[in-house]
């Protein structure tokens, strides 16, 4: 049954509950980075050594730490998560003119990376249980549009090859990867995880980023850990890792002095200066995850009995990193979403809506899309609330 409440009363109630969860009356950002003496020491060491660009020991150490945390054999550090996803798609076999299956409810970088690889995003619906790509909707849609031909799997409506599936773990909540991988295997499609928001999240005790053939991470300033900007391609496929490393280093063949490049490459290598920051940040990952989990619990407790919104909890068989905590507005409250956003921001609480569905952005309106009933509903209901780890109480 839809609730009957005035916008003012709803804003007041939600504001009070968010304040009770975070325990402060001060203005609060959505998600702030954390730095300490260890980060300062590592960056200073990098500056003192003179190795500040894309070659240096900190890059190697950062990549090793990322691979270990994600349960993969290889990590290739890049300048940002979008570039990492673009390279992962290319390495997985996506070619110009292909279509790549992506969730409509995602940050724009997911679709941008597909376009940077020369392909076309093909938008899919979400799951109410995970917020991410819905395996059942994917299976039903492929049954309608996919055709097996001598040139591979094609979209019978466009004639373009269907080249890959990109699940994105929204706010760090893992997609139902077992069901999704089963669909992918049935159709012979590689799975390229967009794990930009999911460092430290587990699905059936396996880290996100190790659940497909290859994945991309982000270390942007608002992520759970940051290198300022930065990303990584992660995989246990040694040949794919080798090619990714080659592509992000301008496709330059190793030589003491020769400038020998054998294909069009990209200057996407993460600088040693950023990697130094990342090494220190990776050391803090266990503590950061523990505090994020406590904060999620604080929100859950503060919103007990709330008739206007519920806190989205981690999916079954998952351990989310709780990168961003999300409220899901209940029936009757969603019509006041913009008033809620205005009211909480005016109260000093930086909150934001979920992203606009990608298929409705002007550059993507002509791209193929499945029916999107769940994603369209979630778009109207989700509000992210302050989620910095330093808001967790001991």
Q: What is the pLDDT of residue 233?
A: 98
Identify whether residues 126 and 201 lie together within a single domain. Answer: yes
Residue 246 lies in a domain: yes
Residue pair 310/331 in contact by the 8 Å Cβ criterion = no
Q: What is the pLDDT of residue 107?
A: 98
Burial class of residue 127, CB neighbours in 10 A (0-12, 13-18, 19+): buried
Q: What is the pLDDT of residue 151?
A: 86
Maximum pairwise Cα distance, the chain: 72
Least confident of 49-53, 70-74, 109-113, 132-136: 49-53
Burial class of residue 293, CB neighbours in 10 A (0-12, 13-18, 19+): middle
Q: What is the pLDDT of residue 256?
A: 87
83 falls in which pLDDT band (50, 70, 90)? Answer: very high
Residue 317 lies in a domain: yes
Q: Which of 259, 283, 307 is the last residue of a domain?
A: 283
Identify whether residues 271 and 330 lie together within a single domain. Answer: no
Identify whether residues 11 and 160 lie together within a single domain. Answer: no
Q: Check which CATH number belongs to the domain holding 355 and give it.
A: 3.90.1150.10
Mean pLDDT of 154-164: 98
Residue 306 lies in a domain: yes
Token pair of 361 as six digits: 């952005």
Q: For residues 232 and 162, what is the distance between their CA atoms, to the nearest angstrom? A: 25
- Is pLDDT above 80 for 153? yes
- Is pLDDT above 70 for 1? no
72 falls in which pLDDT band (50, 70, 90)? Answer: very high
Predicted confidence (pLDDT) per residue in 249-278, tens digit = 999 998 888 999 999 999 999 999 999 999
DSSP 373-393: HHHHHHHHHEEEE---GGG--
Identify whether residues 289 and 277 lie together within a single domain. Answer: no
Q: Which of 241, 259, 283 is the last residue of a domain?
A: 283
Q: What is the pLDDT of residue 203?
A: 98
55 falls in which pLDDT band (50, 70, 90)? Answer: confident
Considering the chain, what is the average pLDDT of its residues? 96
Query: Residue 15: which of 28, 32, 31, 2 has the closest Cα?
Result: 28
% of the chain residues with pLDDT over 90: 94
Token pair of 93 as six digits: 């076999």
Q: Which of 283, 301, 321 is the last residue of a domain?
A: 283
**Cβ neighbours around 310 below 10 Å, total:** 16
Identify whether residues 379 and 296 lie together within a single domain. Answer: yes
Identify whether residues 215 and 79 lie together within a single domain. Answer: yes
SS3 content of the chain, % helix, strand, coil (to 5): 40, 20, 40
Mean pLDDT of 334-363: 97
% of the chain residues with pLDDT over 70: 99
pTM reported for the whole predicted model: 0.96
Q: What is the pLDDT of residue 360?
A: 98
Least confident of 48-62, 155-169, 239-253, 296-310: 48-62
Mean pLDDT of 88-107: 98
Identify whether residues 250 and 340 lie together within a single domain. Answer: no
Predicted confidence (pLDDT) per residue in 338-352, tens digit = 999 999 999 999 999
With H, G, I as helix, E, B as strand and everything else as coil, classify residue 341. Answer: helix
- Is pLDDT above 90 for 4? no
Name the domain count of the chain: 2
Q: Check which CATH number belongs to the domain holding 241 and give it.
A: 3.40.640.10
Identify whether residues 74 and 51 lie together within a single domain. Answer: yes
Identify whether residues 289 and 266 lie together within a single domain. Answer: no
Identify whether residues 116 and 219 lie together within a single domain. Answer: yes
Helix axes 177-187, 135-145, angle to 10 degrees: 20
DSSP 230-274: -EEEEES-HHHHHHHHHHHBTTBPP-SS---B-S---B-BPPHHH
**Cβ neighbours around 148 below 10 Å, total:** 10
The beta strand positions in the chain, using DSSP E, are 74-78, 99-103, 120-124, 146-149, 152-155, 162-165, 192-194, 202-203, 206-207, 214-218, 231-235, 309-311, 318-319, 325-329, 352-353, 382-385
- Is pLDDT above 90 for 2? no
- Is pLDDT above 60 for 80? yes
- For CA atoms 383, 388, 393, 394, give the dihedral sign: positive
Identify whether residues 294 and 228 lie together within a single domain. Answer: no
Residue 322 lies in a domain: yes
Predicted confidence (pLDDT) per residue in 164-177, tens digit = 999 999 999 999 99
Query: Residue 178: which of 196, 202, 204, 201 has the closest Cα?
Result: 204
Q: Apex CA 218: angle with CA 217 and CA 221, to 5°?
A: 160
Q: For residues 70 and 60, what is the distance between their CA atoms, to the nearest angstrom? A: 16
Residue 83 lies in a domain: yes
Residue 61 lies in a domain: yes
Q: What is the pLDDT of residue 56?
A: 81
Q: Give me the domain span that covers residue 132.
A: 37-283
- Is pLDDT above 80 for 3? no
Least confident of 4-18, 109-123, 199-213, 372-386: 4-18
Residue 342 lies in a domain: yes
Q: For residues 239 and 91, what is the distance between their CA atoms, to the nearest angstrom? A: 9
Q: What is the pLDDT of residue 70?
A: 98
- Is pLDDT above 90 for 51? no
Predicted confidence (pLDDT) per residue in 284-293, tens digit = 999 999 999 9
Mean pLDDT of 98-108: 98
362 falls in which pLDDT band (50, 70, 90)? Answer: very high
Identify whether residues 207 and 356 lie together within a single domain. Answer: no
Residue 2 lies in a domain: no
């Amino acid at each position: 049954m839809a609730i009957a409440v005035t916008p003012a009363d709803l804003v007041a109630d939600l504001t009070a509950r968010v304040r009770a969860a975070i325990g402060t009356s001060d203005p609060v950002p959505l998600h702030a980075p954390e730095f300490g003496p260890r980060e300062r020491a590592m960056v200073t060491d990098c500056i003192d050594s003179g190795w500040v660009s894309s070659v240096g020991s900190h890059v190697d150490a950062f990549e090793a730490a990322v691979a270990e945390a994600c349960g993969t054999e290889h990590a290739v550090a890049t300048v940002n998560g979008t570039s990492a996803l673009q390279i992962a798609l290319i390495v997985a076999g996506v070619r110009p003119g292909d279509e790549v299956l992506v969730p409509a409810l995602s940050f724009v970088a997911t679709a941008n990376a597909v376009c940077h690889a020369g392909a076309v995003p093909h938008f899919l619906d979400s799951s109410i249980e995970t917020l991410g790509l819905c395996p059942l909707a994917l299976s039903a849609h492929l049954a309608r549009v996919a055709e097996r031909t001598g040139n591979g799997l094609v979209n019978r409506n466009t004639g373009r090859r269907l080249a890959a599936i990109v699940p994105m773990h929204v706010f760090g909540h893992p997609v139902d990867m077992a069901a999704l991988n089963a669909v992918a295997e049935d159709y012979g499609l590689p799975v390229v995880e967009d794990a930009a928001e999911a460092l430290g999240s587990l699905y059936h005790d396996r880290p996100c980023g190790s659940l497909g053939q290859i994945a991309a991470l982000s270390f942007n300033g608002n992520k759970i850990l940051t290198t300022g900007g930065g990303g990584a391609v992660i995989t246990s496929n040694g040949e794919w890792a080798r090619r990714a490393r080659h592509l992000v280093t301008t496709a330059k063949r190793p030589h003491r002095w020769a400038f020998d490049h054998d294909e069009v490459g990209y200057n996407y290598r993460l600088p040693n200066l950023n990697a130094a920051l990342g090494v220190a940040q990776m050391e803090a990952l266990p503590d950061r995850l523990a505090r994020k989990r406590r904060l999620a619990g604080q929100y859950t407790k503060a919103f007990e009995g709330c008739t206007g919104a519920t806190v989205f909890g981690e999916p079954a068989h998952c351990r989310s990193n709780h990168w961003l905590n999300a409220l899901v507005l209940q029936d009757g409250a969603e019509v006041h979403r913009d008033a809620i956003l205005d009211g909480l921001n005016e109260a000093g609480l930086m909150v934001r809506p979920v992203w606009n569905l990608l298929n409705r952005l002007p550059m993507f309106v002509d791209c193929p899309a499945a029916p999107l009933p769940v994603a369209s509903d979630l778009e109207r209901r989700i509000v992210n609330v302050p989620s910095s780890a330093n808001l967790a109480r001991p």
